[in-house]
Amino acid sequence: MDKFIVEKSKLSGTVRISGSKNAALPIMAATLLTDNKCVVKNVPCLRDITTMIKILEVLGKKISFKDNILVVESKKPRKHVAPYRLVKTMRASFCCLGPLLAKVKKAKVALPGGCVIGPRPVNLHIKGLASLGADISIKKGYCQAEVKKLKGNHIYLGGPFGSSVLATANVMMAAVLAQGDTFIEHAACEPEINALGQFLEKMGAEIQGYGTPLIKIKGKKRLEGCEFEVIPDRIEAGTFVAAAMAASSKITIEGADPSHLTSVFEASRKMGTKITVSSKSRQIEIKPPKKLKAVNITTLPYPGFPTDLQAQFMACLAKANGISLINEKIYPDRFMHVAELNRMGALIQKTGPYAIIEGRNKLQGAQTQASDLRASAALVVAGLAAEGSSKISRIYHIDRGYENIEDKLQKLGANIKRIK
């Protein structure tokens, strides 16, 4: 199992952001809706992408992936079973359920795995697809569904912690081939849903309102293939903002979409960081202060502060001047990284869905292990600010969601290396 060794570092230079993992995965699932060729560009080379490729191949697709370009074609026979051995590693693979129902009229998809960040039930997925007429049951760890004909309906997708991105994606993909009109209320508004909507439109779907809480879909009989470019990864961009702040270093970020990062910039500026956005060149200059200020952060559905950046910003606040409070409103149990940051000298106390962070002057390098994707990124961020060496094990988590992160950090001057 690989591990990272990270030393305290000063960063400088420019980093280019890769394509969005969270946008690419549902788009890949959406290729199941057509028998024609789809070409998807700017796809990051990640473990999760490789897993989704294997799932699509099992379901009857022929795939080539080179230089961040994914080509998806159909082959016979078409299958409808997404096996547990693949689905267990990645929650987004559950997005195959909707397109399989729409195209094949039946699906058997293993209940998903992924990061250990607290309960993430699939009840909204099932509710939405059942509202379109699917007969769904859970048997022996699989979600089994079939339908004679999907029919449009009014569907409310609000949950106890807000809207669900993957449930919205699943219902969207099923509804584009349903009979009649579908209205999705309390839909997720994340940029990744916007990207999926644009992709489906390029395939010939008729959709209005994606990126808003109300989506209207007029069902079609068939969809065509298309070419599409995946949006940049806003979570990767936010992680590099956190890395710059932790290392008290000025860097430039290229290729990100600033409009996707409004809440991240707001929190960073409150911490004392100067952020300059060049709209023409799409460059974002990050210039943190010598000493970060304490802030309060609440994670919320988009356009609120992303839960996927909570851990990375907690690592920064561990060295901020004062006491900070983080309120995790998306996944209240998403605090597995607290214990590991405390091993590095942080003073963080978890109370229910809250984390209270008392800023310290110094963090100390320590042996730590990653519990999930974003926690692993937080440990890297903390390692860049800590005195001495930080050894981070189980970094296969970070390989799920960051393309060549150690190479990008090394080009910025970070002292980080991967040990096989």
- φ and ψ at residue 183, rounded to 5 degrees: -120, 120
CA–CA separation, 96 and 138 (whole Å): 16
One-letter amino acid of 261 = L
Active-site residue (options: 38, 96, 115, 143): 115
In whole angstroms, give the CA distance from residue 404 to residue 407: 5
- The reply to whether omega before 288 is within 30° of 0 (cis) is no
38 is catalytic: no
The residues facing 162 across adjacent strands are 159
Structure letter (DSSP) for residue 111: P
CA distance 49 to 61: 14
Q: Which two tokens stand for residue 168?
A: 């919205």
Q: How many CB atoms lie within 10 A of CB 46?
A: 22
What element of type H or E holds 379?
A: helix 373-385
Partner residues linked to 392 by β-bridges: 4, 368
| Amino acid found at 143 | C
Q: Which residues are catalytic?
A: 115
